[in-house]
Amino acid sequence: MTDKARPFSELPLSTAALANLTQLGYVEMTPIQAASLPIALAGRDLIAQAKTGSGKTAAFSLALLARLDARRYAVQALVLCPTRELADQVTQEIRRLARAEENIKVLTLCGGTPMRPQTASLEHGAHIIVGTPGRIMDHLERGSLSLDALNTLVLDEADRMLDMGFFDDIAKVARQCPKERQTLLFSATYPEGIAKLSQQFLRNPKEVKLEERHDNSKIRQRFYEVTEDERLHAVGMLLNHYRPVSTIAFCNTKNQCRDLLDVLRAQGFHALALHGELEQRERDQVLIQFANRSCSVLVATDVAARGLDIAQLEAVINVDVTPDPEVHVHRIGRTGRADQDGWALSLASMNEMGRVGGIEEAQGRDVEWHPLSGLKPASDQPLLPPMETLQILGGRKEKIRPGDVLGALTGEAGFNGSHIGKINVTEFSTYVAVDRSIARDALRKLSAGKVKGKKVKVRLMDE
C-alpha cells in the first residue's frame, strides 16, 4: 500500500459536507478512512480493523450521513458502542460532521441514566441513535424505539463489546433491524467472536485491515528489569526521571491498579485510576481531569482504557507486561501521536521474560534494556500537573455553557484567558481547568461572583 495522501474530495460527498470537513481541519483521509470510505459509501457491508485513534468514527459517520434523509423523521442509523463515554464521543463527532446538513438529530441512549427522559426525546424524533446494546434493547422491548426505517447499523469497537459480554444483546438488536440494510463493523483487534458476529449479521462483507505501523522515531521504547518488590516503586522513579506531563500506567489487573494508585499518591503524585468498578459519574470525573491536564497519571486496565480518545500523552508505562503482544502494541501506540514524541516505558520481571520475547517477535526486533539505577530525578521539585480542576455545581440542567464560565473568569474575575484550560459541562456539574498558579484565586472569585447571573457552589478537585 502506498502512503500517498488521499484528499476527502475524491469521495462522492456533497459540496457542503466537503466544505465542513475542511473547516474541521480534515483535509486528508486517514489510512483507514481511505480504505473503508469508498466501500462504505458504495453501500457494501464492511469489517474494518485499525488501531485506536486512527479515525474510525468519521469513517462510518460519513457513510451513514451520506445515506441519511433529514426530511424523513425516523431512525435511519444506529451505532452500537460498548460504553457511554465512547457513545458520547461518537455522538459529538457525528454532530460535528453533520453540521453541513440542517437539523439532523442525533440521540445518545445509554444505561446509567433514567429511561423516561430518553423516551421523551425519542418521541420528539431522531435520525441517528448512538447507544449501548443493553439500553437499546430496553427501548426496543418497551416499544419506545423502532428500527423499521433503519438503513445503517454500525457496530463500533466490536471487540470491546464482545469483551463486555454484549454478544446476545447485539444479536437481539440486529434481528430487529430490517434485512435490507448496510452493516458496518469496526474493531481495533480481530478476536474470534468477530467472525461469528459477521457471519450472522453482515452480508458478504468486504474486509479492510490496517497493520500496526508505528513511527519508531516518535515512540521511544525502553524496558527496565525489576523484581516484584521494586515494581510499583519503579513507576515513581520513571515519572521523576522522564517528567511526562500526562502518562497512562497500564496494569494487568484491577488490584494492581489499586496498589499502584496508593503508592503513587503516597509519593505525592497526582494520580487517578480508571477501572471497571467506578460509577459512571466517577469515570467522567477521572477522564475529565486527565484530559484537561490536572492529573499526571491515569492508572488503568486495558479494558477500562480501550477506545478512549486521549490526545497529548507524553508517556505510557507498562507496569506489567501484557501476555498479548498485540495489546502491548496498542498500549504504546497511544503515545507519540501526531507530531509529538512519546515514551513507552515497560517494567518486566524475570517471570515475564517469555512475554517480552513475544513482544520482540511481534515487533521484529529486540527490545532495548536500561538499568533502573540509571533513573535519576530530573528535578527536586515534585511532578505536578500544570492545571487544577474547579467543579462548579451546575451544568446542562442549569443551562450553563462553557462560554458562561469563561466569561465569569475572564470578565469580572479578571483572569487572563491563557490561564483557563478545558471546560466540560455535564448534566449537573461544570468542570473548568485553570492554571495551577491561579487555582485558589479562581476558586475564591468564582465562589464570590456569579455564573450566568447566579451564585454558584464551586470546589477545587484534589483528585
| Residue ranges that bind Mg ion, judged by CB under 5 A | 56
Q: What angle do CA 93, 97, 100 make, to 5 degrees?
A: 150
For residues 316-350, one letter each, b for 16 or more C-beta atoms within 10 angstroms of the residue's C-beta and e for the rest, the string is bbbbbbbeebbbbbbbbbbbbbeeeebbbbbbbbe
For residue 103, the SS3 value is coil
First to last CA, the chain: 46
Number of residues that bind ligand ADP (CB under 6 A): 14
Beta carbons of 400 and 392 less than 8 angstroms apart: yes
Nearest to 118 by CA among 99, 134, 96: 134
* Contact of 32 with 184, CB cutoff 8 Å: no
7 binds ligand ADP (CB under 6 A): no
Query: Of 58 and 202, which has the nearer Cβ to ligand ADP?
Result: 58
Residue 241, all three cell numbers: 526521571
CB of residue 421 to ligand ADP, shortest distance in Å: 17
Binding to ligand ADP by CB under 6 A, coded x per residue (else -) over 15-44, reads ----------xx--xx--x-----------
Would you count residue 55 as binding ligand ADP (CB under 6 A)? yes
Nearer to Mg ion, 43 or 55 (CB): 55
189 in contact with ligand ADP (CB under 6 A): no
Site membership for ligand ADP, residue 56 (CB under 6 A): yes
Instruction: Give the span between the Cα atoms of 143 and 128, in whole angstroms.
Output: 17
**What is the smallest separation between the CB atom of 151 and Mg ion, expressed in angstroms?**
21
Binding mask 298-337 for ligand ADP (x = CB under 6 A): -----------x----------------------------
Given Mg ion, ligand ADP, none, residue 54, with its beta carbon under 5 to 8 Å by kind, binds ligand ADP
Q: Least distance from C-beta 300 to ligand ADP, angstroms?
A: 16
Site for ligand ADP, residues 211 to 250, rule: CB under 6 A: none
CB of 56 to ligand ADP, least distance (A): 3
The conformational region for residue 173 under phi > 0 = left, psi -120 to 50 = alpha, else beta, is alpha
**Segments of 238-393 assigned E as strands:** 247-251, 271-274, 297-301, 315-318, 342-348, 369-370, 387-393
| Backbone angle region of 453, left / alpha / beta, with phi > 0 → left and psi within -120 to 50 → alpha | left
Segment lying near ligand ADP (by CB under 6 A), choices 51-59, 211-219, 367-375, 419-427: 51-59
- Which residues fall within 8 angstroms of residue 228, CB to CB, at 6 or more apart? 349
Shortest Å distance, C-beta 440 to ligand ADP: 33
Q: Whose Cβ is closer to ligand ADP: residue 4's or residue 71's?
A: 4
Give the nearest distance from C-beta 213 to ligand ADP in angstroms: 14
Distance CA 238, CA 223 (A): 11
Set of cell numbers at residue 40: 462504505
> Could you tell me the smallest distance in angstroms from the CB atom of residue 58 to ligand ADP?
4
Residue number with CB closer to ligand ADP (52 or 247): 52
Asked whether position 385 contacts ligand ADP by CB under 6 A, the answer is no
4 by Cβ neighbours in 10 Å (0-12 / 13-18 / 19+) ranks as exposed
Nearer to Mg ion, 52 or 118 (CB): 52
Residue of 11, 48, 58, 425 that binds ligand ADP (CB under 6 A): 58
Report the interface residues with ligand ADP, using CB under 6 A: 25-26, 29-30, 33, 50, 52-58, 309
